[in-house]
Structure 1
Amino acid sequence: MRSKLLIILMTVLGLNISAQVKPAEPVDTVYNPNIIYTGIPNKYEIAGIKVTGVPNYEDYIIIGYSGINIGDRIEIPGPELTAAAKRFARQGLFSSIQIKVEKTAGDLAWLEFALKPQPRISKINYIGPSNGERKDIEERLQLMKGNQITPNIVNRATAIIKNYYAQKGFGNALVKIEQEEDLSAPNENIVNIRINKNNKVKVHKIYIDGNEVMSDNAIQRTMKKTNEKGKLINLFRQKKFVESDFKDDLDRIIEKYNEKGYRDAKILKDSVVAYDDKTVDVYIDLEEGKKYYISDIDWVGNTIFPTEVLDQILDIRPGDVYNQKLLNKRVLEDDDAVANLYMNRGYLFYQLVPIEKNIDGDSIALELRMFEGPQATVNNVIINGNDRLYEKVIRRELRVKPGQLFNKDDLMRSAREIAQTGHFDPENMDIRPEPNEDNGTVDIVFNLESKANDQVEVSFGWGQTGLIGKLALKFTNFSIKNLFRPGTYKGLIPQGEGQTFTISAQTNAKYYQSYSISFLDPWFGGKRPNSLSVSAYYARQTGINSSYYNNNWYNPYMYGGYGYGYGYGSNYNDYYQNSYENAYDPNKMLQMVGVTVGFGKRLNWPDDYFTFQAELSYQWYYLKNWDYLYYMNNGTSNSIVLGLTLARTSIDNPLYTRKGSMFSVNLQLTPPASWLNGNKNWEKLYKENTTESKKQLYRWIEYWKLRIKSRTYTPLTDPDGKWTLVLMTRADMGLLGSYNKWLKSPFETFYVGGDGMSGSYTYATETIGLRGYENGQFTPWTKEGYGYARVGMELHFPFMLSASTTIYGLTFVEAGNAWTDVKSFSPFDLKRSAGAGVRIYLPMVGMMGIDWAYGFDKVYGKKGGSQFHFILGQEF
């Protein structure tokens, strides 16, 4: 037994010893052989490949990059090794590449790929740019800690930064990217990006040669972005030189020549030469060619519409100047272009190609070749991006529906209706048809971006009676049917139906209180665009006793806001130092209560931009020693009012409107007072002028009130562009009369002048803004407004248009006036003003702004002068 164990043990030890003995290398093995690269190559079989210097990479990946595998027969030296080195270089991952022959044995060779990886970024330092510029550059470069930094990356980053500053007019910006080894991290570098943007490069002089048809000034006016500095005509135009803008301006020059019939016009050469460190000279050589005219127009391929109809739509005749831009607009771009004639009848696949059929001297015969194609039927209507409304609320506004023929006008109108809801950002709506010509259908995709539209107003102000606070909540996506279904709530309120619910409260404690609540359903019943509105309000105003005004000059022009005017006499400071408690007079009071129910309908005639609204309201007024109204101070008044409004609105965007118009005619009527008060001797009661006679006169108020308002918006630049310059015009008027001349209404008068906010509804008056004058300057106490007129023009230019914020500036001229009687109304006797301002829209706050205006004329002996006005809310 022992002998068997001994034999087994010796066998195992023998096997182990033999396993540890290395096989003998071939006798002809040569380490680090001397390869003569200019000598005759030898063929070797690759017996092994070793990878060194890149521990973060798997060997098989590196070998795969090389294109050489074990077992390949290659020439050493030879093209295979050269190709492998080039493949490594193309990867851009290695700063050092060596391919070594480690050893050879006969026709066998062992290779070593000795590589060094590119360093990685440990930190990036920006030296020179502002914080805003640094953020912009970081977004463009996308360089991050841990990324490899290569010469190509450095060159690309330098080019991107230079281009960024060149677009801003800094064409001489210097960029230097330095790398320094990070001693705390092996094979990592700190990257320092040094930027010196230098001065903006402007245009010193523009030299134009070869032009005879158009003058130098006319050509320079055509160039929108490349303008000489120092010229008065370029005061508000870009003066910086930007290469890409200059190229665009060269195209504009040729387009302008093409518009004038010079189809062969071309730029022979252009150059930009530095004049000094801050400016450049621009040289343009032109060849105008000759002017062409249209000799004939032929239509080919039209079967749906006869040639006579197409000629009428095109509105270009033989003998007209050959205007390529106008031809393109009439064929494709205009709202009434030939293309829209077809697409509004379903011919989405329609194509029209103008061909210059014959050119004879200066005459061109046009052939308008068209492919009408089949009519396209709407297949699917897809809505993306909606997370606010029930989808049915959006779809009920759409004019495009599955199964209908495609209609471009309906598509554009659908986009407008969605924008008018206010729940989506109109600047970021992407609405596109996706046609499928194989089966003659089209999918309509509405890519929307939801935006917050509810508003919370929390404001505080300081009046003559102390602190005034206001809280208003406006929910624009309310759902009344879900009010008692808490499980459907989104947040704290029921949402999704697109209804509007508003509640507000404003108070100055015992001096002033006002509360209101309203509800609007724009699609009452859910099947037709018929609106239902219900609202109610209560307001209570308390007066100030006479002792409060001791030795203070009362200024009637300041009468407004919350009803307390003040002057600028010697005791002005004492006015504010009086005790508000002592000023409070509970024996002076005005209370108002009102309830209104309205029903509106969208009309189809004259077109479907028209709406009709009917309202029935009841107003109750209670006055006690109320000295602030001229016609009535004590008693109770009532009114039942029927309101009728015909309106047309076709604006494209409620926040920054580029095109369209708004027009409304509103007529309010009460029953004659004799119907409710009985027949009385109204003249006698009026002339008695006693408290009791006034109570009888005004127990039931009678009046008719006519208001006409209009606005138009005209784009002065590209109406479909984002930064459109817009001209807005306005014309408004209002008249307040009675059936009986002895029963002039003490309420519902016009309070004219100032910011259009102060005094609103406080004394049952309608506030009309007229900038450049003080609040109520046209209708001070004893001068109640029974008529007004206002006209104006505003130039709007946008600063920021986004889902979260809209900011635009404006300059304006306007004129207006007010009259104390309908018979005195004279719409051409107006007081003038001019100024500038800014508007800011924030979703949770609404529209607000500030205007500076100067009133040029005198009103009741006082000139308007310089005025600042604060604006809150949109006015129509």
Structure 2
Amino acid sequence: MEKQVNKLAKKLPLKTFTNIFFIALFFLFSSVAIAQEPTYNTGQKYIIGDITVTGNTSFGSQTIISFSRLNKGDEIVIPGEKISNAIKRLWGSNLFSSIDIYLVRLEGNTAYLEINLEDLPELNEVTIDGIKKSKKEAVITENKLTKGAKVTENLITTTRNYLTNKYKKNGFLNTKVTVNTKEVIDSIQKSRVDMSIKIDKGEKVKIKKINFIGNEKIADKKLRKAMKNTKQKNPIRILKRSKYIQEDYKEDLVSIIDKYKENGYRDARILSDSIIINDDKTISLNINVEEGEQYKFGKITFVGNSVYTDQQLASVLKIKEGSTYNGVELRKRIADDTKPDAIDLTNLYQNNGYLFSTINPVEVSADGNVIDMEIRISEGKPAYFNNVSVSGNDKTNDHVVYRELRTKPGQLYSKQNVIRTIRELGQLGFFDAQQLVPNMKNFNTVDGTVDIEYEVVERGSSQIELQGGYGGGGFIGTLGLSFNNFSMKDIFKKDAYKPVPMGDGQSLALRLQASRFFQTYSFSFSEPWLGGKRPLQLSTSISHTKQFLYNAVTRDADKDRRFNITGVSVGLSKRLTFPDDYFHLSQAISFQHYNLKNYNTGLFTFGDGYSNNLAYTVGLSRNNTTADPIYPMGGSNFAVSAKLSLPYSLFNNVDYKALKEERDGLDPTDEDDSVRISEIDQQRYNWLEFYKVKFKGDWYTRIVDKLVIKSGLEFGFLGAYNNDRGVIPFERFFLGGDGLGNYSLDGREVVQLRGYPNQSLSSTDGGTIYNKFSMEIRYPITLGAQAKIYGLGFIEGGASFDNFRDYNPFNINRSAGFGLRIFMPAFGLLGIDFGHGFDALPGETTKNGWETHFIIGQQF
């Protein structure tokens, strides 16, 4: 054998022999390695002896082992559930790109494990090309592309899809997004990547033409009108652009079929639709429809009804035999999902306790294109509220919320009462009206009970007004504090100040305002439920103002020539039950003392003296606007009031006719006569005698989505019981501008009319009658809890007149413009308007033009 080997070696070249030798060695050591690889018995239990962590990771070994929940001394099966769960947990952390667990060796029943893993790379920098710089930060925030974020394939894919869909929704149908990553080597050897995002939006794709094929019964124009979101190019259209958005287009295809169903073509369907790319980079849409035959309603019978008669149900359904079949209208008359308080059959039952009722329309015959219908009703048993609860009111006391609930335990279920409760809670102003949710739960069809929980989200109900500005010839400083959820009973409790006692639904307001020319101080308090048993509101207020005349020589306020007003009022407002419980009757008694010292103006013919104003005000109002008082989307709010003084001329034995004749015979330019005129007017106005009637109405109409039109009407008239005594110089109307009180505090009532300077549309002495018409179109930017922001456009007109014989309701000053409103709970309502006055100011010949108005604490 040895000779044969030597002989073979002699015959083989040295290189070949060497290769064979190394191959033999390789197989030898491989067999040894294989022999040394640990073997385990499936299903046998082992004890973990130790765990080591290897691989490229920045996490500590103990951290990884703890997260895996594999511990030294644990009993495991190889392979087994504990090891599988450990791998799942580590993958679930989204921190690693590679994870393996190895069995290193076995010593008896002791297993030694190794966790080998690779960290996911962290995001270093992001560069974005193809969009404006101002838009880049939003892309980073929305896709969570912050420095240090773990870069996964899912993050890359999600970012790409998000941006592609985002711009396609905006009409960029050909948007292409590329996301690339590049590894970065840093000093700490940490795996990092830079991300490059390239956005190619392309040209915005517009729809040149929408073509319909196969339609004979309904014209193209009507079908295009039915498409609410997808429009073809039209230069005169403003609100809806002709961009193509796939999701909106799919919805509009359904709207086309609904249009056919509304006209009796219940079998109508879309056979196909296609997009044609035009040479001018626009597209055309071809929609192929099959109309089918027109149907009419035949006999409609009700089956299963015992609570209501056929006649009662038919009066709600309002569909007559022989009328054109309208599947859309039929669906709404059964259950209108767009209006929670709609008059339909479902609400008829649910408003009277039948929560578990079901109503299904079934076609039983369609002979001769006449469809006979059965309205099949399963009434179920009446349902009653079992548990009624409220959650989320951390600051507002329970009794304040519960007294507004229209649903009580043991009460018959009523959907109408649930909707009304949401409205009442929203009108309180303590909760975010957009997030009020009634949660129905624990439905029990056997016992006929249901639980309801009203989930509320509190918002700041206190406001602070701290501002400074220029007006009336000088700097005006204002400090206002308004607490709209105050608690008077806790005012002496130290622990209740957070920062003030809150939670009882009361209102307390303090306001201080001062400048060189005037000072005003006011305090008001109201309790909405006097006595706690019924909605009887008590309102009180105290105010004091000082105003000084302007000295033309010193160009400053003349403190020796002043006009003071001190006032107090007490009022009660009661919720009525007739004609309905949206009505309120309010009554108030007020007293103002006007004190003049050397205050000679065109309005007052007596510069030294006083006047007293004791008046009774009665008002009737009705407010059924929707839940959010800041941005109502439906309903109306109107108020009519009359403010009356005592008819002093009937019993004070003063001959006002003689005084008037004497005054008319005096010469105001004569010094002695001027003094006498002042004396006569002091006597005429020592106790003010007047009546004042006002009306204001606002109507809110929801057009589409949250687009709302608000229309308004105002009227005011100030009259005298005794014409010889005359109309008083106080309580007059001053029209024009932003509607704020400005710096004139002489008992006047200011009325806003944008597009003109403040109080510029009334005579120097003020008007005794005015009217105003307005219309706004509003759309919200956000209605969040922290801020409600909406834009508006307006047109309005109004006029002020000195006496009734000059009154012409159609001779008005017109204006139009646009503005913005921002409501923040801490600061109230703020806004800005840009109004264009189309008419000339009194005494001028050219139109007024543009005016800018800042709105503080008012709502138009």
TM-score normalized by the length of structure 2: 0.83
CA distance 1:210–1:189, change in 2 (3 Å): farther
Q: Is the 8 A contact 1:758 1:775 kept in 2?
A: no
Corresponding residue of 2:770: 788
Separation in 1, partners of 2:100, 2:572: 86
Q: Is the 8 A contact 1:520 1:534 kept in 2?
A: yes
Structure 1 residue identity aligned to 2:655: N
Structure 2 residue identity aligned to 1:354: P
Separation in 2, partners of 1:640, 1:89: 80
Corresponding residue of 1:776: 759
Counterpart check, 1:226 vs 2:204:
no
Structure 1 residue identity aligned to 2:453: V
Separation in 2, partners of 1:53, 1:325: 67
Structure 1 position 140, deviation (Å): 5.7
Q: Is the 8 A contact 1:852 1:866 kept in 2?
A: no
Structure 1 position 93, deviation (Å): 9.6
Counterpart check, 1:533 vs 2:567:
no
Structure 2 residue identity aligned to 1:372: E
Separation in 2, partners of 1:47, 1:406: 67
Once the two structures are superposed, residues 526-568 of structure 1 have per-residue CA deviations (whole angstroms, 9 ceiling, x without a partner) of 11100001101111111123x44xxxxxxxxxxxxxxxxxxxx
CA distance 1:859–1:91, change in 2 (3 Å): closer
Counterpart selection for 1:709 from 696, 705, 717: 696
Corresponding residue of 2:670: none
Separation in 1, partners of 2:402, 2:453: 12
Once the two structures are superposed, residues 787-810 of structure 1 have per-residue CA deviations (whole angstroms, 9 ceiling, x without a partner) of 111122222222221112222222
Structure 1 position 200, deviation (Å): 5.0
Separation in 2, partners of 1:101, 1:482: 69
CA distance 1:217–1:595, change in 2 (3 Å): same
Separation in 2, partners of 1:92, 1:857: 67
Q: Is the 8 A contact 1:423 1:451 kept in 2?
A: yes
Separation in 1, partners of 2:840, 2:646: 39
Separation in 1, partners of 2:372, 2:403: 48
Corresponding residue of 1:684: 658
Once the two structures are superposed, residues 635-673 of structure 1 have per-residue CA deviations (whole angstroms, 9 ceiling, x without a partner) of 111121001011111111211111111111111111122
Structure 1 position 322, deviation (Å): 1.7
Structure 1 position 62, deviation (Å): 13
Corresponding residue of 2:832: 850
Q: Is the 8 A contact 1:121 1:144 kept in 2?
A: no
Corresponding residue of 1:613: 586
Q: Which runs of 5+ in 1 are unaligned?
A: 1-27, 36-43, 73-84, 104-109, 549-578, 719-723
Separation in 1, partners of 2:230, 2:133: 28
CA distance 1:152–1:51, change in 2 (3 Å): farther
Corresponding residue of 2:518: 512
- Superposed CA RMSD: 3.7
Separation in 2, partners of 1:92, 1:679: 94
Q: Is the 8 A contact 1:181 1:187 kept in 2?
A: no
Separation in 2, partners of 1:419, 1:277: 52
* % identical equivalent positions: 34
CA distance 1:349–1:364, change in 2 (3 Å): same
Structure 2 residue identity aligned to 1:487: D
Corresponding residue of 1:107: none
Q: Is the 8 A contact 2:707 2:777 kept in 1?
A: yes
Counterpart check, 1:663 vs 2:638:
yes
Corresponding residue of 2:4: none
Number of aligned pairs?
A: 777
Separation in 2, partners of 1:132, 1:401: 53
Corresponding residue of 2:492: 484
Q: What's the secondary structure of 1:325's corresponding residue?
A: helix
Structure 1 position 145, deviation (Å): 6.8
Separation in 1, partners of 2:697, 2:800: 18
Q: Is the 8 A contact 2:143 2:159 kept in 1?
A: yes
Separation in 2, partners of 1:349, 1:528: 33
Separation in 2, partners of 1:631, 1:139: 63
Q: What's the secondary structure of 1:452's corresponding residue?
A: coil
Structure 1 residue identity aligned to 2:328: K
Counterpart selection for 1:272 from 272, 275, 285: 275
Separation in 2, partners of 1:330, 1:221: 24
Counterpart selection for 2:414 from 407, 411, 430: 407
CA distance 1:631–1:173, change in 2 (3 Å): same
Of 621-630 and 467-476, the range deviating more from structure 2: 621-630
Superposition pairs of residues 91-106 of structure 1, within 5 angstroms: none
Structure 1 position 193, deviation (Å): 3.7
Structure 1 position 765, deviation (Å): 0.8
Q: What's the secondary structure of 2:757's corresponding residue?
A: coil
Separation in 1, partners of 2:295, 2:271: 20
Corresponding residue of 1:13: none
Corresponding residue of 1:77: none
Q: What's the secondary structure of 2:206's corresponding residue?
A: strand
Counterpart selection for 2:176 from 174, 177, 180: 174
Structure 1 residue identity aligned to 2:638: F
Structure 1 residue identity aligned to 2:432: D
Corresponding residue of 1:752: 735
Structure 1 position 847, deviation (Å): 1.7
CA distance 1:301–1:850, change in 2 (3 Å): same
Superposition pairs of residues 82-121 of structure 1, within 5 angstroms: 117=118, 119-121=120-122
Q: Is the 8 A contact 2:173 2:205 kept in 1?
A: no
Corresponding residue of 2:219: 215
Structure 1 position 478, deviation (Å): 0.9
Structure 1 residue identity aligned to 2:631: Y
Separation in 2, partners of 1:320, 1:485: 70
Q: What's the secondary structure of 2:794's corresponding residue?
A: strand
TM-score normalized by the length of structure 1: 0.81
Separation in 1, partners of 2:237, 2:468: 44
Structure 2 residue identity aligned to 1:814: E
Separation in 2, partners of 1:124, 1:841: 38
Superposition pairs of residues 390-469 of structure 1, within 5 angstroms: 390-438=397-445, 439-469=447-477
Structure 1 position 749, deviation (Å): 0.9
Q: Which runs of 5+ in 2 are unaligned?
A: 1-25, 43-50, 58-63, 71-75, 81-86, 106-110, 664-676
Structure 1 position 600, deviation (Å): 1.0
Corresponding residue of 1:870: 854
Separation in 1, partners of 2:69, 2:749: 82
Superposition pairs of residues 567-578 of structure 1, within 5 angstroms: none
CA distance 1:623–1:120, change in 2 (3 Å): same
Corresponding residue of 2:124: 123
Separation in 2, partners of 1:100, 1:733: 87
Q: What's the secondary structure of 1:716's corresponding residue?
A: strand
CA distance 1:306–1:776, change in 2 (3 Å): same
Structure 1 position 196, deviation (Å): 1.3
Separation in 1, partners of 2:510, 2:756: 32
Separation in 1, partners of 2:455, 2:364: 42
Q: What's the secondary structure of 2:335's corresponding residue?
A: helix
Once the two structures are superposed, residues 671-694 of structure 1 have per-residue CA deviations (whole angstroms, 9 ceiling, x without a partner) of 122367x21121222344412111
Separation in 2, partners of 1:541, 1:91: 70
Corresponding residue of 2:811: 829
Q: Is the 8 A contact 2:733 2:768 kept in 1?
A: yes
Structure 2 residue identity aligned to 1:780: S
Structure 1 residue identity aligned to 2:182: E
Corresponding residue of 2:315: 312
Counterpart selection for 2:572 from 599, 609, 626: 599
Separation in 1, partners of 2:508, 2:92: 65
Corresponding residue of 1:164: 166
Once the two structures are superposed, residues 569-624 of structure 1 have per-residue CA deviations (whole angstroms, 9 ceiling, x without a partner) of xxxxxxxxxx434xx33342211111100011000000000001110111111123
Q: Is the 8 A contact 2:390 2:455 kept in 1?
A: yes
